[in-house]
Amino acid sequence: MQHGRIIMNIPQVQWPQASVQTSNHDSNDGPASARTQSEVGEPAVAIVHHFFAHYRGAVIRELITHGRYHYVFVGDTSDPLQSGIACCNISKSRFIRTRSKFFGKFLVQAGLINLAFRPDIGTIVYLGDAQFLTTWISAACARLAGKHVLFWSHGWPRLEKGIKDRIRCLFYRIGHGMVLYSNRSKAIGASKGFDPGNLHVIYNSLESVEQKEWLDRKALGEVLGVRTRLFKTARRPMLICTGRLVKYRHLELLICAMDLLHAEGHPVNLLLVGDGPEESHLRELIHAKGLDDAVIFYGACYERRELADLITAANVTVIPGRVGLTAVQSLAHGVPVISHDDPDDQGPEWEAIVAGVNGDLYHHGDIDDLARKIKIWTWDESPDLRTRAACCEVVEKFYNPSYQRAVMDQAVAGQPARDEIWKKWLPLVSS
């Protein structure tokens, strides 16, 4: 007897065709004939961040290896906020160091103004944060020097008005265009008078994974093998949450939803992969709810194959609070994602979740609704192949380094963005 979600009746998502070429052979150029400054004398394209986190490694390698232009990367060798996030390993021939220092919320980068006048750099793509003080000056100088200026940014993560929004828009207007993480952000920008053709949606990505290999080999026996290693009650459905244990994820809501499900006779297990300041509070809550045997604190995991085995053993990834790259990571491994439905309190990767197809969205803060959504996705022992394929589809089409490289090439070339997905958000963000 079927219960809850009928997998075979899930509608197929018809993703719009990409408007950029994601092949490794754009036009007549490919990796073997990639144009670099040293080969044809063209000025380089500088991408400026305060530092380059390790999870940017895949797109950086894609730009270096297959990019249409000679990309160089400008930033510090460690996070100036001392977060402990590891940096990318970028070859010295492609890296320009600029020391970065925060003064409260404001960042100053040494050498950024000189960068604006370098004759060997023709385009500068700045991290678009209006609190980076030297970016204002450097970007303005680059415009005066005749360079092509772009901002790589979250853009407008939520609907705002007032002085903060006016300052942000003034900052973005220094550039010729922007590369943005989400369609909703583009729609907000268009509603504020920015030319949609100059707003390129680049999405986000992680390290590439052998998705098909893990997807094809994950038979139920292997799933149960991983669960047996972790839990005493391995036949229960398994939830997973990967990432830092921090307040904005609101994991206490997940614990309370699990408590409701156990009371209803639908017990589930939870694997928490990550560490963070909320761990002790969560342990206390779990003990108070009597869920000690149902929750495992796995700790941080950075080994890709090990993490893939953990994710693919789960029925569903659940992030009750703000979801970010965790959504892309889960979907890439064929595992659906549940998060909340308030776009103003979400990360851009939230757009990858299609309710009822590759996950669900519960009403923000509603524990009862969260429990209902979890129950829908945990009737079966694991996601079927059709569900796993639906999860992978959006990642393979948009949330990958190859697509990001193609969008960046398009923006640097000054070509207009021709995407259409952002238009569905326009009625929802226009005042």
User: Is 386 found in the same domain as 284?
Assistant: yes
The answer to whether residues 215 and 236 belong to one domain is yes
Question: Picking from 32-36, 56-60, 302-306, 421-425, which range would have the lowest pLDDT averaged per residue?
Answer: 32-36
Q: Is the pLDDT of residue 304 over 70?
A: yes
Instruction: Residue 420: give its domain's CATH number.
Output: 3.40.50.2000
Look at residue 330 and tell me whether its pLDDT is greater than 50.
yes
Cα distance between residue 241 and residue 71, in whole Å: 35
- Cβ count near 140 (within 10 Å): 15
User: How far is C-alpha 88 from the geometric centre of its chain's CA atoms?
Assistant: 17
Whether 36 shows a pLDDT value over 50: the answer reads no
Query: What is the end-to-end Cα distance of the chain in Å, rounded?
Result: 48
Q: Do 224 and 202 fall within a single domain?
A: no
Q: How many alpha carbons lie under 13 Å from residue 229 in its C-beta half-sphere? A: 10
Domain assignment present for residue 63? The answer is yes
Residue 431: band (very low, low, confident or very high) from pLDDT cuts 50, 70, 90:
low
Give pLDDT, residue 25: 36
- Indicate if 97 and 228 belong to the same structural domain: no
Its domain, for residue 188, covers 19-206+400-429
Q: Is 5 among the domain residues?
A: no
Which pTM value belongs to this model? 0.85
Residue 3 located in a structural domain: no
Q: How far is Cα 49 from Cα 376, in angstroms, rounded to an integer?
A: 42
| Shared domain check, 194 and 275 | no
10 in a structural domain: no
Count of alpha carbons within 13 angstroms of residue 251, beta-carbon side: 29
pLDDT in tens, 246-272: 999 999 999 999 999 999 999 999 999
Q: How far apart are CA 408 and CA 20, in angstroms?
A: 10
Computed over its alpha carbons, how large is the radius of gyration of the chain?
Answer: 23
6 within a domain of the structure (yes/no): no
User: How many other CB atoms are found less than 10 A from the CB of residue 96?
Assistant: 17
Residue 120 domain flag = yes
Q: Is residue 165 part of a domain?
A: yes
pLDDT of residue 109: 96
Residue 241 confidence (pLDDT) above 70: yes
| Per-residue confidence (pLDDT) for residue 26, from 0 to 100 | 40
Let me know whether 156 and 226 are in one domain. Answer: no
pLDDT tens for 341-378 read 999 999 999 999 999 999 999 999 999 999 999 999 99
| Burial class for 75, CB neighbours closer than 10 Å (0-12, 13-18, 19+) | buried
pLDDT digits (tens, 9 = 90+) for 310-321: 999 999 999 999
User: Is 11 contained in some domain?
Assistant: no
Average confidence score pLDDT of the chain:
87
Q: Report how many domains make up the chain.
A: 2
Contact 203, 19 (CB under 8 A): no
Cα–Cα distances in angstroms (integers) from residue 199 to residues 3, 18, 132, 164, 302, in the given order: 44, 15, 21, 20, 34
Q: At residue 97, what are phi and psi to the nearest 5 degrees?
A: -85, 130
Q: DSSP for 143-179? A: HHTT-EEEEEE---SS---SHHHHHHHHHHTTSSEEE
Verify that 413 and 352 share a domain, yes or no: no
List the single range of 7-11, 75-79, 126-130, 328-332 with lowest mean pLDDT.
7-11
Residues 24 and 144 in one domain: yes
How high is the pLDDT of residue 23? 41
